[in-house]
Amino acid sequence: MLNKYARAFFTRVLTPFAAFLIRRGVSPDTVTLLGTAGVVAGALVFYPRGEFFWGTVVITLFVFSDLVDGNMARQLGRSSRWGAFLDSTLDRVADGAIFGGFALWYAGNGNDNVLCAVSIFCLASGQVVSYTKARGESIGLPVAVNGLVERAERLVVSLVAAGFAGMHTFGVPGIQYLLPVALWIVAVGSLVTLIQRVVTVRRESAEAEAAEAAASKSENASQGSEATS
């Protein structure tokens, strides 16, 4: 849902900014690299210290680079395999930094081994969810399923919860519990999504192999008929 509607909305909003960067001679790859560096810095500098509000503010400022660089590439007509590869790879780096920052907090001053483990699971499952689709497509399957929780949902749920949880330092009572709840939601949602994709790949693989077997049988029957005649 977020990929379908929110991405389209923010793409329209950010188009003038993307055009401005193009006029200034900035390349899409530069935006991708700077955006990822900003997200990583915000996550690994602020989150391990429990400064969730300011960390989220910094991350949010840079996370939209994921939309800006693609918008710039389209305006320039330079969409390329390299750009898509770089963008996808650095997305995984940014996601790892965010959930790694949560894990570092709970392993340290957050003093909660269970939530540290949940954060690590969110980090790992997010990477595996992305890998299942990429791997399925690499062996020629469509992987025609998105799943319950994709990258956009993981980021929105986690960052919104972290930002609000950080307002606890400003005296807002009880709001710090939003982040643990969000991490559990992301963990369960990612597990469901992983299962959905694995099941889909298994079904598509079986269908593809059955189609190939049927085609091979038909071809052999045709060849046999020709030999008999």
What is 97-150 written as a DSSP string? HHHHHHHHHHHTTT--HHHHHHHHHHHHHHHHHHHHHHHHHHTT-------SS-
Which of helix, strand or coil describes residue 229? coil
CA angle, 140 then 142 then 148, to 5°:
140
Which residues contribute to the annotated binding site for a CDP-1,2-diacyl-sn-glycerol?
29-32, 70, 74, 80
Which residues contribute to the annotated binding site for Mg(2+)?
66, 69, 87, 91
95 close to 126: Cβ distance less than 8 angstroms: yes
Length of the chain: 229
The pLDDT tens digits of the residues spanning 77-90 come to: 877 788 888 988 99
The pLDDT tens digits of the residues spanning 55-67 come to: 999 999 898 887 8
Q: Which amino acid is at 181?
A: V
Which of helix, strand or coil describes residue 64? coil
Q: How far apart are CA 71 and CA 58, in angstroms?
A: 21
Whose tokens are 């390329």? That residue is: 80
CA distances for 182 relative to 82, 84, 89, 105, 202, angstroms: 34, 29, 25, 15, 30
Q: Enumerate domains of the chain plus CATH numbers.
A: 1-212 (1.20.120.1760)
Interval 178-185 mean pLDDT: 97
Which residues contribute to the annotated binding site?
29-32, 66, 69-70, 74, 80, 87, 91
Whose tokens are 């960052």? That residue is: 159
Q: How far apart are CA 170 and CA 27, in angstroms?
A: 39
194 close to 128: Cβ distance less than 8 angstroms: yes
Residue 227 confidence (pLDDT): 60
Interval 92-105 mean pLDDT: 96
Residue 10 confidence (pLDDT): 73
pLDDT level of residue 228 (50, 70, 90 thresholds): low
Q: How many CA atoms within 13 Å lie on the side-chain side of 191?
A: 8
Q: Which amino acid is at 14?
A: L
Interval 202-219 mean pLDDT: 88
Q: What residues are labeled active site?
A: 91
Which pTM was predicted? 0.87
